[in-house]
């Protein structure tokens, strides 16, 4: 990505990546597009470098509630006009809040590019944030939270984050809690907007599909010209502490046990992240993985079992998710523990490593087949790494993983499943469950 001082004109360059162009607007906003031949559509997103991990202490759910509130109308558009403007031409408007970013995005026909860009930029900069709207939308979010608490799989996911990142904002639910959301005010929302539009927080525009880059730059420039955003592209996050909570078990009126065994792992910038991703695939990343074959296919101990790796800035999560009958839960966890130990001690065969590389490369290609996926890939790469990362580069990193990297990852990241080795347990269990799931 280019870095330049503000001028009266946008600075631009054509990327060495096929079809990718990037421009820095005079007010510091990065605009990056990727042209995809053969499409009549495009996806465009405006990214804020703020997610739930950036919420102030005691105000969990603020970024998520703000995401909801912008759809209640702006100074230029009513809520009805916001909802109708793209639907009237067959388009789609949405947003999401993750732990590290918020993205407002649209998918439209190429002919409607200007309409989509102007609308999404208006949502980011011009939300009204009225008190009456807040009370209405607060109830919507509270119902969303209650729905998650009623779903054992959703609830165990929230417990897992809390156990892994104890007393840090990473450990709070993205949507917040019933208590935290009930206390959020219009002033909190306004402060969040000002923070998101300050020079200290990255703001990006990304688009993929049949995109006219020069026209998008002009439209975004007009829509965003009233704000000065600075030149920062990369996100910055607070240091991740070391304290963890080993067990969080909730008893509910359920008939199954849903649990997650997890520990912290390397982050999005670590050199071993690709090796760890391959080991995760071998352990529990698909139907042919060790965990699925051993626990479900051979022993019938669980209806759902898989492993996962999630890379964030400065940290990551490695874990195993399991859903099973209460009578099988303790045995199933024991088998998970045995398989992790066996994997570490025996290592990965050449055949397994080749399989995992081919699996990962194929999945990466398939995941980026749509304009929406490419737009989101651009935004995340810019915020995490400061530049677009082409699919060929990702596949090259996967292919270059060496056996010695796999051995290092197994030794460093897959200790025995014990509390003293950093493993946490999160579980939703029946009210009469008495099993000891983490010995």
How does pLDDT run across 158-170, given as a tens digit for each residue? 999 999 998 889 9
| pLDDT greater at residue 28 or residue 100 | 100
Question: Token match 């070391």: residue?
Answer: 242
| Beta-carbon contacts of residue 311 (< 8 Å; ≥ 6 apart) | 265, 266, 267, 268, 270, 273
Mean pLDDT of the chain: 92
> CA distances (Å), 116 to each of 86, 216, 310, 312, in order?
7, 10, 31, 30
> Rg of the chain over CA atoms, in angstroms?
23
Give 280-334 pLDDT, tens digit per residue.
999 999 999 999 999 999 999 999 999 999 999 999 999 999 999 999 999 999 9
Band of residue 8 on the pLDDT scale cut at 50, 70, 90: very low
- Is residue 121 within 8 Å of 151, Cβ to Cβ? no
115-142 burial, b at 16+ Cβ within 10 Å, e below that, comes to bbbbbbbbbbbbbbbeeebbeebbeebb
Task: Report pLDDT digits (tens) over 13-63.
Answer: 333 357 899 999 988 899 999 999 999 999 999 999 999 999 999 999 999
Confidence of residue 229 (pLDDT cuts 50, 70, 90): low
User: What's the token pair of residue 250?
Assistant: 């909730």
Convert 348-368 into a string of H (helix), E (strand) and C (coil): CCHHHHHHHHHHHHHHHHHHC
pTM as predicted: 0.91
What pLDDT is stored for residue 340 in this prediction?
Answer: 98
- Residue 297 and residue 339 in contact, taking contact as beta carbons nearer than 8 Å: no
What end-to-end distance do the CA atoms of the chain give, in Å?
50
Contact 261, 424 (CB under 8 A): yes
Task: Pick from 6-15, 23-32, 369-378 the range whose average pLDDT is largest.
Answer: 369-378
What is the C-alpha to C-alpha distance for residues 246 and 411, in angstroms, rounded to an integer?
Answer: 21
- CB neighbours of 435 closer than 8 A, spacing ≥ 6? 326, 329, 330, 429
Q: Domains plus CATH for the chain? A: 11-224 (3.30.830.10), 247-430 (3.30.830.10)
Residue 359 Cα distances to 280, 353, 390, angstroms: 12, 10, 18
The answer to whether 36 and 371 are in contact (CB under 8 A) is yes
Q: What is the pLDDT confidence band of residue 207, given thresholds at 50, 70 and 90? A: very high
Give the pLDDT of residue 352. Answer: 97
Cβ contacts of 29 within 8 Å, gap of 6 or more = 203, 204, 205, 220, 224, 229
Q: How confident is the model at residue 349, as a pLDDT?
A: 96
pLDDT tens column, 424-433: 999 999 999 9
> What's the half-sphere exposure (Cβ side, CA atoms, 13 Å) at 343?
31
Residues classed as catalytic: 67
pLDDT at 9 over 60: no
When pLDDT is cut at 50, 70 and 90, the band that residue 357 belongs to is: very high
- Flag whether pLDDT at 12 surpasses 80: no
Model confidence at 339: pLDDT above 70: yes
Q: How many angstroms separate the CA atoms of 30 and 1, rounded?
A: 8
3 state SS of 398? helix
Please report, rounded to a whole number, the percentage of residues in the chain having pLDDT higher than 90. 86
pLDDT of 241 reads 67
pLDDT interval class at 238 (50, 70, 90):
low
């Amino acid at each position: 990505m280019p870095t330049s001082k503000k001028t009266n004109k946008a600075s631009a360059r054509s990327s060495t990546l096929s079809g990718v162009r990037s421009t820095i607007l005079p007010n510091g906003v990065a605009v990056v597009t990727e042209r995809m031949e053969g499409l009549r559509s495009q996806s465009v997103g405006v990214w804020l470098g703020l997610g739930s991990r950036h919420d102030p202490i005691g105000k969990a759910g603020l970024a998520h509630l703000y995401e909801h509130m912008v759809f209640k109308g702006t100074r230029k558009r009513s809520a009805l006009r916001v909802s109708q403007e793209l639907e009237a031409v067959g388009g789609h408007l949405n947003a999401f809040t993750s732990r590290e970013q918020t993205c407002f995005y649209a998918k439209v026909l190429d002919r409607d590019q200007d309409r989509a860009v102007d609308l999404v930029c208006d949502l980011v900069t011009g939300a009204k944030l009225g008190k009456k709207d807040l009370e209405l939308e607060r109830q919507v979010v509270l119902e969303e939270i209650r729905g998650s608490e009623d779903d054992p799989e959703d609830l165990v996911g929230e417990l897992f984050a809390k156990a892994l990142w104890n007393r840090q904002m990473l450990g709070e639910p993205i949507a917040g809690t019933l208590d935290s959301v009930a206390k959020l005010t219009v002033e909190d929302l306004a402060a969040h907007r000002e923070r998101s539009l300050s020079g200290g927080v990255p703001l990006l525009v990304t688009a993929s599909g049949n995109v006219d880059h020069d026209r998008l730059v002009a439209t975004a420039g007009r829509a965003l010209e009233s704000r000065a955003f600075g030149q920062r592209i990369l996100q910055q996050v607070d240091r991740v502490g070391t304290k963890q909570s080993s067990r969080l078990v909730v008893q509910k009126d359920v008939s199954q046990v849903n649990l997650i065994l997890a520990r912290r792992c390397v982050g999005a910038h670590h050199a071993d992240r690709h090796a760890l991703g391959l080991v995760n695939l071998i352990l529990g990343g698909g139907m042919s993985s060790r965990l699925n074959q051993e626990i479900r296919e051979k022993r019938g101990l669980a209806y759902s079992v898989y492993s996962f790796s999630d890379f964030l800035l400065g940290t990551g999560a490695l874990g195993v998710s399991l859903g099973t009958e209460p009578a099988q839960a303790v045995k199933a966890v024991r088998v998970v523990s045995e398989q992790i130990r066996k994997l570490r001690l025996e290592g990965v065969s050449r055949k397994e490593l080749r399989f995992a590389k081919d699996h990962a490369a194929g999945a990466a290609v398939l995941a980026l087949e749509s304009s929406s996926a490419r737009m989101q890939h651009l935004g995340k790469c810019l915020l995490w790494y400061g530049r677009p990362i082409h699919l060929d580069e990702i596949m090259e990193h996967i292919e270059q993983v060496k056996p010695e990297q796999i051995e290092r990852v197994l030794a460093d990241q897959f200790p025995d499943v014990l509390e003293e080795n950093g493993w946490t347990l999160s579980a939703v269990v029946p009210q009469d469950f008495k099993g000891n799931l983490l010995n």
